[in-house]
Amino acid sequence: MTSDDFSSARLSPRHDLEPSASATVSAGRGVGPTPVDLLRRLRARTAGDPVTHVERVPARAGVPAPWPPWAPPELREAFARRGVAAPWRHQAEAATLAYDGGHVVVATGTASGKSMAYQLPALATLLADPRATVLYLAPTKALAADQLRAVAGLELEGVRPACYDGDTPRAEREWIRRHSRFVLTNPDMLHHGILPGHAQWSGFLRRLAYVVIDECHTYRGVFGSHVAHVLRRLRRQCARFGATPVFVLASATSGDPATAAGRLTGLPVTAVTEDASPRGGVTFALWEPPLLPPDSGSSPPVPPQATGDHDDLHQVRRSALRETADLLADTVAEGVRTLAFVRSRKGAEVVAANARRALDDAVPGLGDRVAAYRGGYLREERRELERALLHGDLLGLASTNALELGVDLIGLDAVLICGYPGTRASLWQQAGRAGRSGQEALAVLVARDDPLDTYLVHHPEAIFGAPVEATVLDPANPYVLAPQLACAAVEAPLTPADLSLFGDGAKEAIDELVAAGALRQRPTGWYWRHRERPEVDLRGEGGAPVCVVESATGRLLGTVDGGSSHFLLHPGAVYLHQGVSYVVDDLDLADGCALVHVEEPDWSTHARDVTDLSVVSVRSYVDAGPVGMFLGEVDVTSQVVSYQRRRIATGEVIDTRPLDLPTRELRTVAVWFTLSPQSLASAGVQPADVPGALHAAEHAAIGLLPLMATCDRWDIGGLSTAVHPDTEAPTVFVYDGHPGGAGFAERAYGTASAWLRATRDAIAECGCEAGCPSCVQSPKCGNGNNPLSKPDAVRVLDVVLANLPA
């Protein structure tokens, strides 16, 4: 039995950099080559041609509209001072729908001015009614801080905008509750602070006119399902105070935004999707890192059991992290202000550190113009980095998706995307960070050694010719619904009238809470029985964040979410923070603290785990003769049991060290398929090769599922076995990595033929002989990518596709 659960490496710089003089004198604003010239120079510096496709996204003229007649003169004048002569047509349309009392979602492209669509009606109402209030929700603190700057910059009398989040000093919180009329926060603070303290917020909630939900497409999966119920709890409290606010949502371009927004809010929502804003042209390149020569001293071939992380040095292609670091150094040397998106926190640190090193080797001190940005930094660090990038003190920034969302980064010339971000919506959102002033921009997607990335750079029509995905969330998830109902009961006793508000499954969840002793039923409703509040993690990250503390000084370096702590902060793990390397001395899960010390080892660490899975129930299935396709509930048990140390320079495995960490249990939703042994034998798969065939097919299927659902491979896990005790047949499972499921397995089941066809093609079209990270090796394999059989995986999928109905 082989399994793949929820795991990253440091690289050396290149030394062939030729810095442009502009890099040492400019702030990166409009200085440097055109995107086409820049791409040509980048290609010329790489052996062979790494570019598989260049897409030209043409510039577009804007379509303005007159100011709505209800917009007060002082508001128009405030926008005029900011350089806005008139709204674009989609802004005026969405703003008018909201001002007239309709719930609306504006789903248009990056930099299309979605913020004006909600600022216009909200601020007009605040100016007309001196008692009205507005609540703004953003998924990240950086976005809320950016919007605060924008609203405050309008200098409208009496609005008094303020951020209320975990970084807000306690001395300011009382003033905000009493006096701010435009409060900017996030779903976490709404859940943990505002709704539990609704009595203190009664004046604000009683006068609440608008709820703005920015970047609502990010509320997907378990996180989105939790936020959906937080919004229902907000509506419930507003109704108790006599308020019925209008909901205005902003989203990146997405499939069926009205349905997704309606599922999120529980309200009928009208979508505005026709983008009338002007757009600068974008040169979009798909970049596949070159193959490493077999005798490469920097990355010799390594056995499959030593391969376990796409951030490491692979046997086939140059690391996407190393390639992105080189490209970032090259663009900064050209004087081009660049943002590099990297999927992991550790990866962002690696890219920034290597770009800095390469730049300093070329021009001492030039590396200071590059930094990393990620979640887990302290507030002061984040704000300083944002300021430095906005003012041009920094030319290059390697960031996680913390800067993907609407933060206004005017002046960026190029975006590097290290690995497909999981959805086309995120891809275009990240690419749109450049060119926000209307100038031409360059976007480069650097492919990882990953089945999906490899598939996409060789099938550009899957990016440029395909619609954006619909947002997937499931408010009826019982593992979300029951805890949220418990939170609602703490805020006020639940009544029968609340059942329709919380939707399908609410009565059953309440009955379970009563049976568990959490609620007491009385004639007037259901009451919370305990003194303490229920602990509910909105983001489904596996518990409270773990603090990373420097042993010698007691200094707080940052935080890591609880779900990742077993992989990133186990004793002996290498932890990176702003380019400084630390080694973990101790992980105290009970106290949520990891103690670390500064050390620069010549090795990286890679956690390994073991997984077991059992079928609980089958929701739906397709009987296709020798093939069965199933959807149902499963129990997954996993444990991080060891970690490998690998030399940074060569990828050589130094040793494997045991770990003693607690087991984790997960009940979730899975999709799985079974095959008869006879069908495999007829296809030429020998019995001894069945485990490797299924394992390889499982890896590739996990890698390709994000093509069908709004997830990435880190949201899902898998397991394959030649004979599973519950199915009594060769079986491949793919499951959601969140309690109760996140909707991804359902999407896989509904698109099984298309999903597995793309999986089969990705494996068959890969140019390697025995399997590589571009097709069947997985960056998170708990079994060290062993055994794997690439040709037999194609035979397995041929059997499935030949029998499964379209």
* Predicted pLDDT at 173: 94
* Predicted pLDDT at 143: 84
Do 717 and 2 form a contact (C-beta atoms < 8 A)? no
Nearest residue to 702 via CA among 607, 793, 802, 610: 793
Nearest residue to 315 via CA among 784, 699, 772: 772
Do 789 and 762 form a contact (C-beta atoms < 8 A)? no
The DSSP result for 273-308, as a single string, is: ----S-B--EEEEEE-PPBPPTT-SSS----GGG--
For 466, phi and psi rounded to 5 degrees?
-115, 150
- Amino acid identity for residue 180 in this structure: S
pLDDT tens, position by position, 714-764: 678 899 999 999 999 999 999 998 878 878 898 899 999 999 999 999 999
pLDDT tens, position by position, 40-51: 999 988 777 899
Separation of alpha carbons 109 and 575, rounded Å: 36
Handedness of CA 335, 337, 341, 342 (dihedral sign): positive
Separation of alpha carbons 366 and 19, rounded Å: 9
Cα 629 to Cα 621, 746, 754, 804: the distances in Å are 5, 12, 14, 8
Half-sphere exposure of 182 (CA within 13 A, CB side): 29
* Predicted pLDDT at 313: 33
* Predicted pLDDT at 803: 96
- Amino acid identity for residue 676 in this structure: S
E strand residue ranges, 564-602: 574-577, 580-588, 593-598
Tokens of 350: 């690696």
The DSSP result for 388-455, as a single string, is: HHHHTS-SEEEE-GGGTSS---TT--EEEEES--SSHHHHHHHHTTS-TTS--EEEEEEPPSSHHHHH
Tokens of 324: 């992105």
Do 769 and 667 form a contact (C-beta atoms < 8 A)? no
Q: What angle do CA 643, 646, 650 make, to 5 degrees?
A: 160
For residue 108, give the 3-state DSSP assignment.
coil
Separation of alpha carbons 247 and 718, rounded Å: 38
Cα 437 to Cα 5, 148, 171, 339, 769: the distances in Å are 42, 20, 38, 15, 47
Nearest residue to 116 via CA among 73, 61, 75: 75
User: Strand pairing partners for 643?
Assistant: 607, 657
* Predicted pLDDT at 223: 86
Separation of alpha carbons 111 and 624, rounded Å: 48
Do 633 and 669 form a contact (C-beta atoms < 8 A)? yes
Separation of alpha carbons 750 and 759, rounded Å: 15
Nearest residue to 587 via CA among 618, 610, 564, 565: 565
Do 138 and 214 form a contact (C-beta atoms < 8 A)? yes
- Cis, peptide link before residue 658, omega less than 30° from 0: no
Cβ contacts of residue 416 below 8 Å, gap of 6+?
A: 324, 327, 328, 331, 338, 339, 340, 341, 444, 446
- Amino acid identity for residue 381 in this structure: E
What number of helices (H) and strands (E) belong to the chain? 26, 28
* Predicted pLDDT at 68: 97
* Predicted pLDDT at 308: 30
* Predicted pLDDT at 526: 96
Cβ contacts of residue 790 below 8 Å, gap of 6+?
A: 696, 763, 766, 768, 769, 770, 771, 775, 776
Q: How many CB atoms lie within 10 A of CB 390?
A: 17
Q: What angle do CA 750, 754, 756 make, to 5 degrees?
A: 95
Do 342 and 311 form a contact (C-beta atoms < 8 A)? no
* Predicted pLDDT at 4: 43
User: What percent of the chain has pLDDT above 90?
Assistant: 56
Those residues of the chain that have pLDDT short of 70 are 1-32, 293-316, 374-379, 402-411, 436-438, 469, 540-543, 578-579, 649-651, 712-714, 779-780, 782, 784
Supply the pTM of this predicted model: 0.72
pLDDT tens, position by position, 193-225: 999 999 999 999 999 999 999 989 888 878 888
Tokens of 239: 């109704």
The DSSP result for 22-49, as a single string, is: HHHH--SSS-S--HHHHHHHHHHTSSS-
- Amino acid identity for residue 185 in this structure: T
- Torsion from C-alpha of 110, 111, 116, 118, nearest 10 degrees: 20
For residue 623, give the 3-state DSSP assignment.
strand
Cα 438 to Cα 33, 56, 90, 410: the distances in Å are 16, 15, 18, 9
Separation of alpha carbons 54 and 797, rounded Å: 31
Q: At what angle do helices 114-128 and 141-153 cross, to 10 degrees?
A: 50
Separation of alpha carbons 774 and 778, rounded Å: 9
Strands 627-647 and 603-624: antiparallel
pLDDT tens, position by position, 332-381: 999 998 999 998 777 888 899 999 999 999 999 999 999 988 666 666 77
Do 111 and 159 form a contact (C-beta atoms < 8 A)? no
For 642, phi and psi rounded to 5 degrees?
-165, 175
Cα 275 to Cα 60, 404, 436, 535: the distances in Å are 10, 19, 15, 41
Cβ contacts of residue 591 below 8 Å, gap of 6+?
A: none
